[in-house]
Structure 1
Amino acid sequence: MEDIIQPLYGNGMVLIMWAAIVLQLVVPIPRQSHPMALWRRFALLLSDKVNSTNPRQASLAGWLSVALMLLPAIVILLALQPLVWQNELYQLALLLLALDWRNTDALVRHLSAAMAHENKQQARELLKPWVNRETETLSLLGLGKAGAETYLLAMGRGVIGVLFWYCLFGGIGAFVYRLTFELARVWSPTRQTFASFGRAATRLTALLDFLPLRLFSLMILVGHRTQQSFLLLKQQHKSWPLPGPSWLLITSAAKYELSLGGPAIYDTRKTLRAKIGGRIAPAAIHLSQLRQLMFSRLTVWILGTSLLLAIFHQGL
């Protein structure tokens, strides 16, 4: 037993990860006062200055803006690393800021409760800060779909992806990944203003999402309705524009035959999206089921990540 415990105890990376997860769950940082709120605000100010109505100029400006936002941040993070008093605390702080588990979990719990009481107005207000689509006209069916999609993608990026990049590149990798997908959300091409400008951030995020979200989706496939979920994934994954999120949404929805996707309104314009998953409209109970599904798979994901970190860094 000591041979198993000692590598975990003596490996700072594993302890930092567990400490960040526990602290983030016990003492969450409110979404409105999180440093990422300042990052999103600065991204909007930059886009106001450089975005263009010309599609080609807007696309070029988008790539330059991504570089302008991320490259200085990476340089500063790397420069600070040898200057900090305790590197472990530095890595812990970065991972703690990158993770977004507690706020996402609170969203799905409160949204599920509001939908269970058919309080559409409360559900719309809960969902509004998390999505770019318009929520004022969403029915209970629309709220169920939007809530399920938002929860799955928020967990996929705010926890799964963050831990994956932490495993590879430590706290800096996790934090830079969080900065990147926040840019993709702020400059989402689903909004007409960023139709060309936001493609750069979206494509970079899609590249970073590809491996972690697909690996996690394979974990979701295991268990209940494995064969049916795999067939549905094989049929539908190309219909969704982003490869990583498509796998996560389809495999999760297939477990309970939930219907996701379909039309959505962005900036008063109706956008046609592919319908994915099954035929059952998501209700409050299904949001709770998705929460249980994610928790069970995340437990395995975290334990597996801990083991890989212990083995890899022990080898070093």
Structure 2
Amino acid sequence: MNSLFESFYGGGALLILWGALITNLLLPIPTTLHPIHWWRQIAELVSNKVNQANASASQQTLAGTLALALLMLPALAVLLALEPLVWQQNLYQLALLILAMDWRNTELFSRQLIQFMSKEDKTETRRLLEQKCNRETTSLSLLGLGKAGAETMILSFSRQVIGVLFWYALAGGIGALFYRLLLELARLWSPYKPRYQHFSSATHHLFILMDYLPQKLFSMLALLGSSVSVIKQSLIQSKAWHNHATAWLLTGYGNKFELSLGGPAMYGEEKLQRARIGGKVAPATYHLAQVHKHLSTRLYIWLTLQSLILVVIHQGF
């Protein structure tokens, strides 16, 4: 038992993981004081300066690529340069993982969404979704709010928790925070927003590259225990979904709970014609609660598996 504990402590990765989780849940950083908030502000200022509406598509693409490099390369350089200078490596990795993870706010969003939907409070539900997703929410009906809410909840947990944990396991706190910073740029400069259609090209493709593997792995975990027909239908529908990284995940949840997801979505003044996926049931309060419970269960399974993998790795070393 003592040697096992020493292997945990010697590597430190497992203690960092659970330390970050506990800190994130018990002592969350206020949104307006979080460095991610200021990162988004800086990114918006940069895009406003260099993303010219009257520029050609190729010029906007080049400007977006340079803006991505301008933000991400110095951020990565600073994170790497600070690592050998800090007094305690484990505390540095812990701090980076705490900054990268957003479990508490995602959990709070889910509970508020379910609460507002149960009261059929369209005003508060629209306001809540407006903070989390890029699409236009002001004209959404309860049906539209339910679909948008279910999709946003699924993607928030899978990216702001699972994606961060995956990259922590692969590349430590630096990898986790790099992924989260790129996620924020990809959301802010979404290619589905008309003004960023070309500007976001490099950011979108780099994020899809980093997001692909954690989403696929979590999709397989989410579909675990599903019937053959659900898995088969999910795989068929995923071919028509516009984002190949999240296709299995959204079609999987849609078919597992027979929920109607996807369909047209407004981004500014433009309507994106997305594929209709899942079943035929309009997501309501009960279904959102089901999805939330299932996501929470799968998150704990992921944590258990990742913890066991870290134990095996540290024992091996």
Secondary structure, in 3 states, of the residue corresponding to 1:276?
A: strand
Secondary structure, in 3 states, of the residue corresponding to 2:271?
A: strand
Instruction: Encode CA deviations 1:12-59: one digit per residue, 9 max, x unaligned.
Output: 000000000111011122333321111111111111111133111111
Alignment partner for residue 146 of structure 2, among 144, 147, 158?
A: 144
Amino acid at match of 2:143: L
Query: Partner residue of 1:32?
Result: 32
Correspondences of 1:29-178 after superposition (within 5 Å): 29-52=29-52, 53-178=55-180
Instruction: Note if contact 1:228-1:254 (Cα within 8 Å) is conserved in structure 2.
Output: no
Amino acid at match of 1:151: M
Structure 1, unmatched stretches of 5+, are: none
Instruction: Encode CA deviations 1:254-277: one digit per residue, 9 max, x unaligned.
Output: 210111111111112222111111
**134-143 or 268-277, which moves further after superposition?**
268-277
CA distance in 1, matches of 2:305, 2:43: 35
CA distance in 2, matches of 1:208, 1:72: 19
Instruction: Note if contact 1:133-1:264 (Cα within 8 Å) is conserved in structure 2.
Output: yes
Query: Partner residue of 1:8?
Result: 8
Secondary structure, in 3 states, of the residue corresponding to 2:28?
A: coil
Instruction: Encode CA deviations 1:45-78: one digit per residue, 9 max, x unaligned.
Output: 1111111331111111111211111111111001
Query: Partner residue of 1:275?
Result: 276
Query: Partner residue of 1:184?
Result: 186
1:247 paired with 2:248, answer yes
Instruction: Note if contact 1:181-1:201 (Cα within 8 Å) is conserved in structure 2.
Output: no
Instruction: Encode CA deviations 1:146-172: one digit per residue, 9 max, x unaligned.
Output: 111111111111000100000011000
Secondary structure, in 3 states, of the residue corresponding to 2:261?
A: strand
**7-16 or 140-149, which moves further after superposition?**
7-16
Secondary structure, in 3 states, of the residue corresponding to 1:244?
A: coil
Amino acid at match of 1:23: T
Q: 1:88, CA displacement in angstroms? A: 0.9
CA distance in 2, matches of 1:186, 1:158: 15
Query: Partner residue of 1:217?
Result: 219
Instruction: Note if contact 1:11-1:310 (Cα within 8 Å) is conserved in structure 2.
Output: no
CA distance in 2, matches of 1:165, 1:282: 31
CA distance in 2, matches of 1:83, 1:7: 25
CA distance in 1, matches of 2:169, 2:46: 31
Amino acid at match of 2:257: Y
Q: 1:226, CA displacement in angstroms? A: 2.8
Secondary structure, in 3 states, of the residue corresponding to 1:270?
A: strand
Instruction: Encode CA deviations 1:196-232: one digit per residue, 9 max, x unaligned.
Output: 0012111111111111110111111112x33122112
CA distance in 2, matches of 1:150, 1:60: 30
CA distance in 1, matches of 2:311, 2:248: 29
Instruction: Note if contact 2:8-2:314 (Cα within 8 Å) is conserved in structure 1.
Output: no
Q: Aligned residues: percent identity? A: 49
Amino acid at match of 2:71: M
CA distance in 2, matches of 1:10, 1:79: 23
Secondary structure, in 3 states, of the residue corresponding to 1:265?
A: strand
Amino acid at match of 2:26: V
Q: 1:3, CA displacement in angstroms? A: 6.0
Secondary structure, in 3 states, of the residue corresponding to 1:239?
A: coil
CA distance in 1, matches of 2:40, 2:122: 28
Instruction: Note if contact 1:130-1:150 (Cα within 8 Å) is conserved in structure 2.
Output: yes
Please, what is the CA RMSD of the aligned residues?
A: 1.4
Query: Partner residue of 2:264?
Result: 263
CA distance in 1, matches of 2:2, 2:302: 23
Instruction: Note if contact 1:30-1:103 (Cα within 8 Å) is conserved in structure 2.
Output: no
Q: 1:2, CA displacement in angstroms? A: 5.4
TM-score, with length taken from structure 2: 0.96
Secondary structure, in 3 states, of the residue corresponding to 1:243?
A: coil
Alignment partner for residue 200 of structure 1, among 175, 199, 202?
A: 202
Instruction: Note if contact 2:24-2:103 (Cα within 8 Å) is conserved in structure 1.
Output: yes
TM-score, with length taken from structure 1: 0.96
